[in-house]
Amino acid sequence: MASLQGYLIVSTALFGIGAFGFMARRNAILMLISIELMLNSVNLSLVAFNAYIPGANNAGAIFALIVMAVAAAEATVGLALVIAIIRTRQTPEVDEYDDLKE
């Protein structure tokens, strides 16, 4: 299990779970959480590559740190947007946001 492929399989499965959650859940906040899951799975694969591929020279660790910072910024703006939308529409369900259809 403790090999590069094991870590990559875990990362892939987590990415799939996040992708399913993003496509299938109706709650806007849950969709943001699913995006965080996908970003975390990519981070895991970056750190695993960094640890197992010789000559990586810590680039994977630094990429992971940068991805974390960007994910924090994305979560901040995304949650602010969701709160603003919920304040006007009174519901977190994304399929109720159909103003443009009318």
Partner 1 sequence: MLAIGILGGGLAVVTLRNVIHSAVAMMICFGSLAGMYALLGAPIIAAAQVLIYLGAISVLILFAIMLTQAGDASLPAPFHRQAPIAVVIALVVVGLVAWAVVTTAWKAAPAAAAVAVEAVGNLLFTDYALPFEIIGFLLLAAIIGAIFLARRPEEDERAN
Which residues sit at the interface with partner 1, rule CB under 8 A? 1-10, 12-21, 23-27, 29-30, 32-34, 36-37, 40, 43-44, 47-48, 50-54, 57-58, 61-62, 64-66, 68-77, 79-84, 86-87, 92-93, 95
Name the burial class of residue 42, with classes exposed (0-12), middle (13-18) and buried (19+) by CB atoms within 10 angstroms of its CB: middle
Nearest distance in Å: CB 84, partner 1: 5
Nearest distance in Å: CB 97, partner 1: 13
Closest CB to partner 1 among 58 and 99?
Answer: 58
Closest CB to partner 1 among 40 and 100?
Answer: 40
Cα distances (angstroms) measured from residue 98 to each of 29, 43, 60, 69, 80 = 18, 34, 41, 32, 20
C-alpha torsion angle, residues 54, 60, 61, 63 (rounded to 10): 160
Nearest CA among 72, 69, 75 for reference residue 28: 75
Nearest distance in Å: CB 38, partner 1: 10
